[in-house]
Amino acid sequence: MQAPSEGISLNSGLPQMIHLDLDIKDFCTDWTHCDLMSGYIARMVSHNRLDSLLFSNLYSSALNELLEAVYRTHGSSGKLQCAVQRDGNVDRIELTFPADEETYKVYEAAIAKVNGDNAETLYLEALFADAEPDASLGLLELGVDYGARLAIGRNEDGRMSLVAELVLEDDAE
């Protein structure tokens, strides 16, 4: 099991708000699934926030980047699970998806960049690089721009978990 980012538990005891479960192959039949899922979940979890529209838009943007990363980089078969939880004003998103060793290493490298001292520099480099962005750009953005805490972990069933904890508004009702 990969050591998570400090303070993030890969098995949080928080109650589930929403849990979506689908086959990774079905998910990857259409790019717009990322947008649809992120928009749907964002709307569902935003109703009791201080400013539901602003929160929903930020949440959707963050979740979409995570889903796009998984869409591009994942193992060949198995379930994709998306579980969202909340503790006060901390929102926790956990994506669990099939991942072979090569896939896991991609995320391992990306998370190392996010949690490194020069994440902001790496983010700007990736943002203005000539090559099209890879999975790390969205994760770097979450870490640098959204102040998200990110972690990964290896599951025994051949899947991996990608966890993000975000604070999208200062005070919630």
In the complex, which residues of this chain contact another protein (CB under 8 A)?
31-32, 34-36, 47, 50-54, 57-58, 60-61, 64-65, 68, 124, 127-130, 132-133, 137-138, 141, 145, 168, 173
Residue number with CB closer to another protein (33 or 79): 33
Distances (CA, A) of 60 to 37, 65, 105, 120: 9, 9, 26, 22
Residue number with CB closer to another protein (39 or 75): 39
Residue number with CB closer to another protein (35 or 108): 35
Report the nearest approach of another protein to the CB of residue 26 (Å). 17
Residue 47 burial (CB count, 10 A): 9
Residue number with CB closer to another protein (50 or 112): 50
Report the nearest approach of another protein to the CB of residue 3 (Å). 27
Instruction: Please tell me the distance from the alpha carbon of residue 110 to that of residue 115, in angstroms, as a whole number.
Output: 9
Tell me which residue has tokens 């001292």.
Answer: 117
Residue number with CB closer to another protein (56 or 103): 56
Report the nearest approach of another protein to the CB of residue 80 (Å). 17
Report the nearest approach of another protein to the CB of residue 138 (Å). 5
Closest among 128, 115, 90 to 14, alpha carbons compared: 90
Show contacts of 51-58: CB within 8 Å, 24+ apart: 51/169, 54/169, 55/168, 55/169, 58/146, 58/168
Report the nearest approach of another protein to the CB of residue 147 (Å). 11
- β pairing state of 149-154 and 159-166: antiparallel
